[in-house]
Structures are given as structure tokens and as C-alpha cells.
Amino acid sequence: MAREYPIEKIRDIGIIAHIDAGKTTVTERVLFYTGISHKIGEVHEGEAIMDWMEQERERGITITSAATTCFWTPRGYLSKETNKENEHKINIIDTPGHIDFTVEVQRSLRVLDGAVVVFDGVAGVEPQSETVWHQADKFKVPRICLINKLDRTGANFETSLKSIWERLTPKAIAMQIPIGLEDKHEGVIDLIKMKAYKFAGDYGQDMTEEEIPEELKKQSKDYREKLIEKIAEQDEKLTEAYLNDKEIKEEDLRRVLRKAVIDYKLVPVFCGSALKNKGIQLLLDAVIDYLPSPIDMPPVQGFDPKDETKKIIKESKDDESFSALVFKVATDPFVGQLAYLRLYSGTLASGSYVLNSSTGDKERVGRVLRMHSNKREEIKEIYAGDIVAVVGLKSTTTGDTLTDPDYPVILEKIIFPEPVISIAIEPKTKADQEKMGLALKRLAEEDPTFKIKGDLETGQTIISGMGELHLEVLVDRMLREFKVEANIGQPQVAYKETIKDTAEAEGKYIKQSGGRGQYGHVWLRVESQEQGKGFEFVDAIKGGVIPQEYIPAVEKGIKEAMSKGILAGYPVVDIKTTLYDGSFHDVDSSESAFKIAGSIALQKAFKQANPILLEPIMKLQVITPEQFMGDVIGDLSSKRGKIEEMEDRGEEMNKVKVINAQVPLSGMFGYATQLRSITQGRANFTMEFGHYAEVPKNVAEKIIGEEK
């Protein structure tokens, strides 16, 4: 076996956009054009291709998988033949658009090397696009932009470009200008080649390269001037040539621009209309020309499973030892569970054994599948830089690292945010109960931020997640995909309990009234721990005052009491408990007696150690026209919100205020509707989990009262 595409001919990219900008349509067109160009090599007859296109259209292109592979030869459309030699492989990684799904968004941004950011050419940069952009910033993703929908009424390339420039980055530069707008949008002008491109045929597949129309010559020249200047600035030789008015070669411009994009110094902006089939082929050229291949990015860095402080670097090479990151686990109707992974280094053959270094388990890789838009292809071996789905992993979840057992590495320490919101669900019938159990288990396997808990007292099932929408989507899937009938409760805040001080208490469970009695006796110290540090149990028993065999039972009793909650029925977190004294009885002591004693001691000590309730505090950003600002802030104050920062944004006509605030989640249910009514639907917001904080005394008393 050998690799079919050299690593520098691979692109691992995402198409990212806020909802409605056209991500789905762009992706569909990309898969369609790449499908045609890949077919040309196989079917030479023009008619056969038309047939194939019709069929493909009817069948509908599917882009539901977490990663889809396609192939593209830059500028291949001009020759009408595929030039196999210059064909590149593009893996498109799906990036969910909503902020509630933080884990999936972050995982997918992590495994891609570059991104295409899609904007609506009427609205330009919208509040939601800023969120998406900043997420990409966080992962330092090199990117190119597409101003889409230029066929829509009200479309404006210049103002859209300006909004990118002003609100997102001054690194943005126009690579193209449109030929006509709205219903006169015909094509685009490429400012590097200085040619006009039009897209004929039912699917825009018949591209033509023409001279720039007379009326656009001046505008093209002005834009090109700016573009060349920006590119030339990035390179000494080009700067010199530019200053001396020398013509710079196309390939030099591309080379220097490519480097600038990869270093995130420039962001090229393209334009067109996905729906009307304008410009997408050129966007694909740009993906190949300017977005990085796996070896253009710094090698992946992880750490030694035995010692977190020891950094390990894995080069993106086939002869490096194998390492991969699982970025999504999905249930597939045909093959069961699919784990999507990115191979960072080495090679992987189907049927081989690997180590899941995150869990320590050995796993056998069954089949390896490459997902295309219309088929899945079974492959025997994959190489560094590739993205595939594998079948057969037993205990691997999103975020896990798979490695060569002899050279283990962990690529990422997984800290999943704690679920902040929960709802109770109750199956309608016995049959639904079983189906529901199965459905929830499946969904939880796919999504590590989705948790299920049974409430023994009420017989209810409680599910928790990262936000209202997150749970809505999951419940909706359960009802529709798994056909479970259930009653759904109101969303509740996932409070937690903890302590601020230290206390000691005795737990005694002694019953000696005829026959064999019960005897468990412990002394326990509880201390508060730093937030997020979790639970710790220390065995400080000396001289065998409690025999070793009963000590695990004490810990078990403590853990049970913690999960039930002590103040108001919410789980106890971040405490350290030390078992330091106690006694036992030769005949009457048992594990169960010590378990109960442990639980009693914890409850007593906890109550004396200044117990408090913790609540999730959300980071909120509201973008509102100025005239509603007072009302928005007033409303947030009534929800115990704290305003952190306010900024002005936009220009004369559409001046807006950006409000950044921290607000307890408890006041934020249904906020979308409330904000709409306060601002006549003109404001927008995004919200994500920030941290847990102490609930003020008066509020806590109310919550505790209600629980009791």
C-alpha cells in the first residue's frame, strides 16, 4: 500500500457560518462540482456526465456526515479533462453552527487546518457571524471568506466587505469583485488573473473565462491595485518590485499570499451566489491555493500519559508513530457506531490494534471508511493528515486520543464543561420506557456534554446539557428518530452544593438488640476544595482502628450522600474528606454498617462547614439598537445580571450597542422571546456557560425551601 495523494495535496477544512448564511448550499455545490470534476476522468462522454448530474440531483447530495471527502483540480475546469496529477483531496469537516454545542464546535475547529467563512451578501457581518469568527480565532484557524447571496435583492459587495473589515479584521482583502448584483449577478472578476468568469449551464458547470467588461475595468484596476499592494507588503522581493512598478508574476502573488493566509496575516475575500451557481468553482481553487495542507501547520503537540508535564510532538509524517484524535462519535443506521478521527501522524490499517490513551483501553479498529457525498468507501490503510470514520471501537468517545501502544501520547486533555440545565422526562408507556433507555444511551455516547440520571425517589429520568436549545434538539431527536413517547418537564437549573469551611463530625451506626447487630463508627473531616477540583477521599486511619476491608465502604457511603445532595438535593462537588478515626466491633461490624456511618458523618460535617449552593453563571452578549439599551439593561438587572462592558459598534445609520454581561442561568429561560418583545425583535444575543458561583443567601433560602 502507498498513499494516493501526497500530504501536501490534502486539505482538511471546514465551512463555517452562522445559521442561514448559506453553509448548506455552499457545501452542496462544492460536493456537486467536485463530483463532476472527479467523474470527468472516468466517463469521457459529455452526455454521460449530464446523465450522472441529473441522477445526482434527483438523489440529492447528502452532507449529513461529520466529515466528507471530495477531490478537486484547481483550474481543471478550463481544460475539460481531469489532470490527475494536480488533483487534491479535500476533507470537509462539518462544524455545527450553534454556540450551545460548544464541545462539537470546538472539537471540529480543532481538527481542521483551515476554513471558509460564509457571509450573507445582504446583511454582511451579523452578530452571529462574530461569534463564529471569534471561535475560529481561538483556534487560530487560517481562513478565506465568501460573500454569498449576491443575487439577492439588496445585495451589496462593498458594504459587506467593509463590514468584515470593520467588525472582524482589517486583514481582509478583496480577491474578486462581482459582475452585476441582484438579478443581474452574472459572475465574478478574478483580480489576480484580471479575467471575468461566467457560469452557464443549468448548474453553472459551463464556466467561461472572458475579458473584463468595459464598464468594470476601472473598478477592477482600483481593487487590484489595493490587493497587489497588500500582498507585496508581505515579502521583501515583491515589495521592491512593487515600488519599482515592475509586473509581479501570478505565481509569485499566489505563493506569497498563501503564506500570509497560513500565518493569518491576510484574509482573502471571494464572492458569488451558491444558490445561483456562481463562483463556487473559484472558491474551490482558493481552498487549494491558499488554505494550508497538514504539513503547513505546526506539528501536533500532546503530552505523555504518564506525565502531563512532558510534552510530546508528533510530526505529520507517515513514518512517525501513529496518533489520532476522535472528534465525533455518531450512530449510523447501517454500521452502528462510527468514530470520526483525524490522523495526525503515522499510518493506520484496518484490523489493527491501537491504544486509547485517554482511557487506557486497547481497541481494535474494524473497518475504516471514507465518507463521500453519495457513497462510503472501505479502505485498508490511511496516512498522516487524513480524516476517516472507523467502525468497531468499543469504548471510545469524542475527544479521545488513539495511539500506537508503544509510543503513547494524549493529544488533548478533555475537560468537558459541566451540564448547566436539566429537564425531567417521563415515558408514556412501559414500551416507551425501554426505547427511551436505549435512545438516551445512544445520544449520550455521541455527546459527552449530555448526561442522564435516574431519580430513584420520583422514578423520573433527568437529562442535562449545555443549554435550552441543546436539550431541545436532543429531546426532539429522541421523539423523532427513536419514536419514544414521553412527557417533558420544564427546564431546571443544575445547581450544585459545596462548603466554604472545614468541619469534623462523627458518624455512628450501631444497633445491638439481639442476634447479629450493626456496628459502624467513623470520624470524618471535610474541607472545601478549589472549584473544579472534584472529590477527594483520604484514608488517614492509623493502627487499624478501622480494618482496611471497611474503608472502601465508608468512601462509598460518602459518595452516595454526595450524589443525593444534603442541602437541597443537588449533587455535592469539590470537597476533600479525610477519614481519621473510628472504631469497630468484631462480630457486628459490616461493610453496610460502615457505609451508613460514612454517609451520616458526611451529612453532619457538611452542615457544619458553611454549606452553600452554586449556580451556573452565563456569559451573555446582547447586540441592540441604541434606543433599547436602557430596557435591555434594566431587564438584565432584574435577573441579577452584572454588566461587564459596553461598546459602540456600526455606523451612523445602524449604530448598535454591544452589552457584555454575566447573568445567572436561572433568569435566562425563554430569553430569546423576552428580548424580542423588549426590542421589537431588533436585538440579538449569544450566551455560553461561564462558571459556577455562590447563590446569594436570600435566593438560596428560597431554592432550599422549595426543594423541601
Q: Given the rule CB under 6 A, which residues bind ligand GDP?
A: 17, 19-25, 148-149, 151-152, 273-276
Question: Which residues are CB-contacts of 202 (< 8 A; sequence separation ≥ 6)?
Answer: none
Residue 157 or 584: the one with the smaller Cβ distance to ligand GDP is: 157
Residue 274 or 388: the one with the smaller Cβ distance to ligand GDP is: 274
Q: Which of 474, 447, 451, 475 is nearest to 462 (CA)?
A: 451
Question: 3-state DSSP call for residue 546?
Answer: coil
> Positive or negative CA dihedral for 106, 108, 112, 115?
negative
To the nearest 10°, report the CA torsion of 379, 384, 387, 393.
70
Least Cβ distance, residue 86 to ligand GDP (angstroms): 28
To the nearest 10°, report the CA torsion of 149, 230, 113, 89.
70
Q: How far apart are CA 554 and CA 562, in angstroms?
A: 12
Q: What is the DSSP letter of 273?
A: B
Least Cβ distance, residue 152 to ligand GDP (angstroms): 4
Q: How far apart are CA 10 and CA 147, in angstroms?
A: 25
Least Cβ distance, residue 229 to ligand GDP (angstroms): 30
Question: 3-state DSSP call for residue 651?
Answer: coil
Q: How far apart are CA 397 and CA 399, in angstroms?
A: 6
Question: Which residues are CB-contacts of 624 (< 8 A; sequence separation ≥ 6)?
Answer: 632, 656, 657, 659, 679, 682, 683, 684
Cell output for 297? 501547520
Least Cβ distance, residue 177 to ligand GDP (angstroms): 16
Residue 284 or 439: the one with the smaller Cβ distance to ligand GDP is: 284
Least Cβ distance, residue 443 to ligand GDP (angstroms): 23
Residue 95 or 449: the one with the smaller Cβ distance to ligand GDP is: 95
Least Cβ distance, residue 270 to ligand GDP (angstroms): 13
CA 529, 533, 536: angle at the middle one, nearest 5? Answer: 70
**What would the DSSP string read from start to end of 576-615?**
EEEEEEEE--TTTB-HHHHHHHHHHHHHHHHHHS-EEEEE
Residue 276 or 595: the one with the smaller Cβ distance to ligand GDP is: 276
Residue 181 or 440: the one with the smaller Cβ distance to ligand GDP is: 181
Least Cβ distance, residue 682 to ligand GDP (angstroms): 21
**Phi, psi of 438, deg, nearest 5:** -65, -45
Residue 152 or 470: the one with the smaller Cβ distance to ligand GDP is: 152
Least Cβ distance, residue 202 to ligand GDP (angstroms): 16
To the nearest 10°, report the CA torsion of 160, 170, 138, 70.
60
Residue 120 or 404: the one with the smaller Cβ distance to ligand GDP is: 120
Least Cβ distance, residue 63 to ligand GDP (angstroms): 9
Q: What is the DSSP letter of 226?
A: H
Residue 24 or 492: the one with the smaller Cβ distance to ligand GDP is: 24
Q: Which of 89, 88, 36, 92 is nearest to 64 (CA)?
A: 92
Least Cβ distance, residue 151 to ligand GDP (angstroms): 5
Residue 275 or 643: the one with the smaller Cβ distance to ligand GDP is: 275
